[in-house]
Amino acid sequence: QVQLVESGGGLVQAGGSLRLSCTTSGRALSNYGMGWFRQAPGKERELVATISWSGRNTDYADSVKGRFTFSRDKAKNTVYLQMNSLKPEDTAVYYCAVAKTSFTTPRIESDFGSWGQGTQVTVSS
């Protein structure tokens, strides 16, 4: 059974940066695509970014494109979400997730099978 643990959240002023990390354990996920989701209070969970199993392909929601960067370090079984130029509307709990199927690029929520517990990101104006 895979376990995902996020870290790196916190409080930052608008315009600032944070880097989220998600470390996996339980089984090697080097052959699985990954994703970052977020959920703000009173809103539905939103898929923010995805990365292919190879790490060569990434995709982003329009709301974060050009500001967020998704990367992975297979040797460390860790993925990262670098968040720059943060805005108050980025405030949410951020979750990492792993695809259900290996050697695929997850694109929608139903492509994912496991989520972490989340890390809070708060951006003050």
Question: Could you give the 3-state DSSP secondary structure of residue 93?
Answer: strand
The pLDDT of 16-31, averaged and rounded, is 88
Better pLDDT: 25 or 40: 40
Better pLDDT: 29 or 109: 109
The model's pLDDT over 63-122, given as tens digits with 9 standing for 90+, comes to 999 999 999 998 888 999 999 999 999 999 999 999 999 998 899 999 999 999 999 999
Specify the residue for token string 């259900």: 100
Specify the residue for token string 């979400």: 81
Residue 16 has pLDDT above 90, yes or no: yes
How many CA atoms, within 13 angstroms, populate the side-chain half-sphere of residue 11? Answer: 2
**Are 26 and 6 contacting, i.e. CB atoms less than 8 angstroms apart?**
no
Better pLDDT: 54 or 11: 11
**Structure tokens of 118?**
């989340």
Residue 20 has pLDDT above 80, yes or no: yes
